[in-house]
Amino acid sequence: MMVLDYACAFQDAGIAGHLVHRIAQAANNPIRIMEVCGTHTMALFRHGIRSLLPRTITMLSGPGCPVCVTEQTDIDRCIALARQKDVVVATFGDLMRVPGSTASLQMAKAAGADVRVVYSAMDAVNLARRQTGRIVAFLGIGFETTAPTVGGAILAAEQLDLPNFCVLSAHKTVPPALETLMAYPGTTIDGFLLPGHVSIISGVRAYRRWFGRCQIPSVVAGFEPIDLLQGILALVRQIQADAPALENAYGRAVTENGNTAAQEVLARVFEPVDARWRGMGTIANSGLAIRSAYARFDAARRFDLAVTPLPPTKGCICGDILTGVKTPRHCPLFGSTCTPATPVGPCMVSSEGTCAAYYSYHEQEGIRP
């Protein structure tokens, strides 16, 4: 049997066209679907899916870009950490330009802080091995997909008995946020396109309790055009038939139980805590803190990172965008004061941010500016 070319096979134009046709046939009434994952937001634009959908369907971008949902105070804490003596901060590149109350990590770096972009938390561990005498602090920002990789780095540091590695954990988990979103004033969501990568780790079972309570159409989907269209078609059918179900349309990567090895690492290193989300306030048990058994790897315990909360940037409506109340079109700063080169809010910084996605594809989509 020939080797399956995954990317090409799931981009097949014939199948995609057929799915678009089916969606158009099925979507008789106005339907609002939220894609929870930032990578979905990007993929929907990149493959031009949004413009193929019938006018009855509105796609809302949810709180699925880890950088975007990180509170300004947490960004300020990252910057406070970078300003500590003898500290090297290692971070994913996305975070560099996110504005805190008064500065960004990039500005802190320009002012002398040692901030380095890494591709993996493991790179930060290796950096700590080379930088003996200085403390390498990794900024742990991300969802269930990222947390086990950071947990893995902490376990590796433990095995190496590294005294100079630590993590500032601002990780978050998706299911608690879904429940908050549905009750959020002003938000109307008919169905959720559930995040593919989070689900790879957590499995479909992670949503079962939430789904049992909320009974809202929900489909786990992948990132190729056919995955996205299949997911949307399944949602449209559920919504039109008023028959909510929890479906998995990404069976080649996502299982019922998920990646149990990753779940074990996550549970060993982290414990649930209440966490603040940009635009959504505090959500119970939606964050991940480092367990006391790993206290020596916890930057929050090793350093005093108290910061004074300041009001968020005036005019930025990221919070309303993350909750699906508004789209970047509603933001007066979009494309004028706020562009990817001069971002005002986090949604314009991250490559997965909704405002950045709208900006990159505004010509194709006919959005101002």
Partner 1 sequence: MCLAVPSRIIAIDGQNATIDTNGVKRRISLMLLADTGIGDYVIVHAGFAISRLDEASARETLALLAQAINPMPQEP
Given the rule CB under 8 A, which residues bind partner 1? Answer: 4, 6-7, 9-10, 12, 14-15, 18-19, 38-39, 43, 66, 92, 94, 119-123, 142, 145-146, 148-149, 152, 155-156, 196-197, 200-201, 222-224, 226, 230, 251-254, 259, 261-262, 265, 352
Q: How far is the CB of 287 from ligand SF4 (least distance, A)?
A: 23
- Residue 39 binds which entry of ligand SF4, partner 1, none, CB below 5-8 Å type-dependent: partner 1
Nearer CB in complex with partner 1: 265/305: 265
Least spacing, CB of residue 315 vs partner 1, in Å: 28
What does 347 interact with, of partner 1, ligand SF4, none (CB < 5 to 8 A by kind)? ligand SF4
Q: Choose the contact partner of 119 out of ligand SF4, partner 1, none; CB within 5 to 8 A by kind.
A: partner 1
Of 259, 250, 186, whose CA–CA distance to 220 is shortest? 250
Q: Which does 194 bind (CB under 5 to 8 A by kind): ligand SF4, partner 1, none?
A: none
The three state secondary structure string of the chain is CCCCCHHHHCCCHHHHHHHHHHHHHHCCCCEEEEECCHHHHHHHHHCCHHHHCCCCEEEEECCCCHHHHECHHHHHHHHHHHCCCCEEEEECHHHCCCCCCCCCHHHHHHCCCEEEECCCHHHHHHHHHHCCCCEEEEEECCCCCCHHHHHHHHHHHHHCCCCCEEEEECEECHHHHHHHHHCCCCCCCCEEEECHHHHHHHCHHHHHHHHHHHCCCEEECCCCHHHHHHHHHHHHHHHHHCCCCEEECCCCCCCCCCCHHHHHHHHHHEEEEEEEECCCEEEEEEEEEECHHHHHHEHHHHCCCCCCCCCCCCCCCHHHHHCCCCCHHHCCCECCCEECCECCCHHHCCCCCHHHHHHHCHHHHCCCC
Nearer to partner 1, 253 or 325 (CB): 253
Which CB sits closer to partner 1, 177 or 198? 198
**Minimum distance from residue 230 beta carbon to partner 1 (Å):** 7
Q: Which is nearer to partner 1, 265 or 290 (CB)?
A: 265
CB-nearer residue toward ligand SF4: 228 or 316:
316
Parallel, antiparallel or unpaired: strands 171-172 and 191-194: unpaired
Q: Output the smallest distance, CB 267 to partner 1, in A.
A: 13
Q: Which is nearer to partner 1, 156 or 214 (CB)?
A: 156
Looking at the Cβ atoms of 72 and 199, the one nearer to ligand SF4 is 72
In the complex, the smallest distance separating the C-beta of residue 353 from ligand SF4, rounded to whole angstroms, is 7
Residue 321 touches which member of ligand SF4, partner 1, none, C-beta under 5-8 Å by kind: ligand SF4
When the beta carbons of 21 and 330 are compared against ligand SF4, the nearer one is 330
Interface positions with ligand SF4 (CB under 6 A) = 315-318, 321, 328, 331, 333-334, 338, 344-345, 347-348, 355
Rounded distance, CA 132 to CA 128, Å? Answer: 6
175 binds, among ligand SF4, partner 1, none (CB under 5 to 8 A by kind): none
